């Protein structure tokens, strides 16, 4: 693997929890170039030939293996679009860790747009973790626009953990999913914005199969002058269950817009949406301050617990 500097290693730790080269399959991308790659007997990673990106093929029956494909950027003004396709064979059980960290110390915007497509085979289970992080003292923005498409076959399941807690100036996250019979999708989004940051999350889930289900939950905090939009739509075309939830804390002059969307095209479709936006309760802060915390420390404790 190519040698990474201290900043790049810190970014890898933030977005992929990597202190060193991971076990199993991996591809590390640094400043639009490969910094290292390894395939395994059951997981093959190859470069696309028509566009920038990867094909990751996971053999049927692969159990308890992982794929890490993090991206780090430290050059100001760098912009890229990457297309990664994941083909998960039947009866597999795997962990996929992605994410991008940008450290921008310059005056030009840096941007990474990652388009991920997942084809999940019958009876397979996928846990997908995607973390975004930004740092750097430059005036240039840190921009991340992830797009995710999920196609789930019969009796498959997927858990998605989408995390963005610090340093990303502008992001538009777009996620679509189509589920067959008895397929199950669970999404947990955790998001915090501050300063003048903007974050838009759009989810569109189509439940086509009998017994399919989706549970999409976002927890977020908007500080300072930041803006967030959570736009979640579930379309029920069969006997199915769908649930979306937006639970947000608003602070300072932050703004949050929650847009629910439920469409039932079958009498046996059961669809639910919940949304709650509010400030931190004063009694919560007071209680923690009686334990010796300052008001700022009390707020941080509440936010950390809320976003956990």
What distance separates the 2 farthest-apart alpha carbons in the chain? 61
30-63 pLDDT, tens digit per residue, is 999 988 999 999 999 999 999 999 999 999 999 9
Whether 298 is covered by a domain: the verdict is no
Distance separating alpha carbons of residues 96 and 113, to the nearest angstrom: 18
8-35 pLDDT, tens digit per residue, is 888 888 888 877 778 889 999 999 998 8
Whether 301 is covered by a domain: the verdict is no
174-208 pLDDT, tens digit per residue, is 999 999 999 999 999 999 999 999 999 999 999 99
Whether 211 is covered by a domain: the verdict is yes
Instruction: Provide the pLDDT for residue 88.
Output: 98
Asked whether the predicted pLDDT for residue 262 surpasses 90, the reply is yes
Q: How many domains does the chain have?
A: 1
Whether 296 is covered by a domain: the verdict is no
pLDDT tier, 148 (very low <50, low <70, confident <90, very high otherwise): very high
Distance separating alpha carbons of residues 211 and 148, to the nearest angstrom: 23
Tell me the residue range of the domain where 275 lies: 6-282
Whether 147 is covered by a domain: the verdict is yes
Q: Contact at 8 Å (CB) between 202 and 175?
A: yes
Q: Contact at 8 Å (CB) between 132 and 167?
A: no
Whether 32 is covered by a domain: the verdict is yes
Q: Which residues of 41-78 are buried (b: 16+ CB within 10 A; e: fewer)?
A: ebbebeeeeeeebbbbbbbeebeebbbbbbbbbbebeb
291-305 pLDDT, tens digit per residue, is 888 888 888 898 989
Question: Per-residue DSSP letters for the chain?
Answer: -----HHHHHHHHHHH--SSPPSSEEEEEETTEEEEEE--SSEEEEE-SSSSEEEEEE-TT-EEEEEE--EEE-STT-EEEEEEEEEEPTT-EEEEE--EEEE--SSS-EEEEEEEEEEEPTT-EEEEEEEEEEE-SSSS-EEE--EEEEEE-TT-EEEEEEEEEE--SEEEEEEEEEE-TT-EEEEEEEEEE-TT-EEEEEEEEEE-STTEEEEEEEEEEE-TT-EEEEEEEEEE-SSEEEEEEEEEEE-TT-EEEEEEEEEE-STTEEEEEEEEEEPPPHHHHHHHHTTT--HHHHHHHHHHHHH-
């Amino acid at each position: 693997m190519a040698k990474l500097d201290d900043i790049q290693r810190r970014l890898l730790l933030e977005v992929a929890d990597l202190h060193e080269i991971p076990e199993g399959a991996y591809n590390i991308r640094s400043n639009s170039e490969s910094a290292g790659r390894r395939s395994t007997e059951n997981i093959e990673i190859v470069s696309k030939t028509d566009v920038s990106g990867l094909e990751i093929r996971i053999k049927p029956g692969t159990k308890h293996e992982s794929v890490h494909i993090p991206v780090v950027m430290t050059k100001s003004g760098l912009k890229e679009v990457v297309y990664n396709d994941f083909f998960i064979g039947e009866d597999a059980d795997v962990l996929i860790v992605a994410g991008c960290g940008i450290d921008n110390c310059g005056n030009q915007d840096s941007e990474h747009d990652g388009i991920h497509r997942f084809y999940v085979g019958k009876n397979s289970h996928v846990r997908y973790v995607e973390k975004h992080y930004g740092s750097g003292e430059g005036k240039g923005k840190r921009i991340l626009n992830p797009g995710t498409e999920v196609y789930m076959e019969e009796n498959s399941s997927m858990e998605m953990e989408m995390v963005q807690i610090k340093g990303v100036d502008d992001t538009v996250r777009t996620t679509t999913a189509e589920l067959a019979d008895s397929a199950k999708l669970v999404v947990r989004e955790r998001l915090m914005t501050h300063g003048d940051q903007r974050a838009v999350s759009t989810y569109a889930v189509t439940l086509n199969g009998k017994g399919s289900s989706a549970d999409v939950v976002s927890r977020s905090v908007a500080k300072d002058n930041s803006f967030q939009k959570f736009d979640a739509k579930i379309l029920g075309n069969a006997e199915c269950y769908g649930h979306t939830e937006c639970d947000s804390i608003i602070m300072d002059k932050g703004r949050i817009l929650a847009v629910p969307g439920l469409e039932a095209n079958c009498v046996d479709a059961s669809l639910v949406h919940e949304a709650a936006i509010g400030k931190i309760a004063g009694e919560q802060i007071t209680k923690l301050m009686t334990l010796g915390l300052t008001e700022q420390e009390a707020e941080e404790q509440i936010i950390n617990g809320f976003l956990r």
